Amino acid sequence: MSDAECPGPPSPRCGAGRCVDGLCEVEIHEGRIDSQIRGDCMQLKCTAKGELIVQEEQEDTYDDGNLCTTDRCDHERPYVRLIHDEPCSGPGVDLGVCAHGVCVECLDTDPRLDCPSGLACDGTRCVPAHCVNNRLDADVGEADLDCGGACRPCATGLRCAAGSDCQDRVCRGGVCASSTCADGMKNADETGVDCGKDGCSRCPVGEGCARPTDCASGVCWAGVCQAPTCTDGVENGDEGGIDCGGEGCELPCRE
């Protein structure tokens, strides 16, 4: 008789059956298991009977990578509080302010969140005054009416001189083009380069993400797709189950 022939505990993640001197015994690993989904406000534990249970864990907060949110636990659920009217910095914003959970340069609907002297607020961007005069100022770099160059990016269908003039960063034949999942740019709703949105592939390790389903590994932390591990609580990589099987995991998968 072998270990494989001996019945294990109710949950295979809580132990295994062992053959000792020709008799079957049940080996139970009581307490918190190593395999956990990080930031889900819960923890998995094994009871003395070998049953897997879920317990609330208020300290197991998520990190969404956004400086303009506060991540908390609301009982057994992650909860995000949006920050408003506090300083921040982020992609494309060296010195900005949080506006309802987003780091922006300004907010034209809130006079408290205005631009420095000499600049105008166009939505959420601080731009030169010529960017909001309702004229095409090609001599100072505008590609189309009040957009491109130092102004806000131009919408799809408007004129452009370079990809940087366009909202989706794609300029074809002097016209801003719509994004695709194969244009080599991070644009539109993508969280990474040509990945992480409906219709595109999931993102590889190191690319951006907003939720686990954006990532090929199924693990998103601090806005970045993480590499699979044998303790991340997700079946990924070459695993045969959740954190079991595969080349790097010690635990075999059991039914």
> CA torsion sign, 34 to 42 to 37 to 73?
negative
Whole-number average pLDDT of the chain: 93
Mean pLDDT of all residues in 49-66 = 96
Query: Closest by alpha carbon to 64, among 212, 215, 188?
Result: 212
Alpha-carbon distance of 153 to 172, in angstroms, equals 15
Q: Answer for the pair 46, 13: CB distance below 8 angstroms, yes or no.
A: yes
Distant-in-sequence contacts of 29-34, Cβ < 8 A, 24+ apart: 34/230, 34/231, 34/243
Q: Answer for the pair 160, 166: CB distance below 8 angstroms, yes or no.
A: yes
Higher pLDDT, 175 or 92: 175
Alpha-carbon distance of 246 to 226, in angstroms, equals 18
Q: How many CA atoms lie within 13 A of 162 on its CB side?
A: 6
* CB neighbours of residue 186 within 10 Å: 19
pTM of the entire structure? 0.87
Among 3-7, 190-194, 207-211, whose mean pLDDT is lowest?
A: 3-7
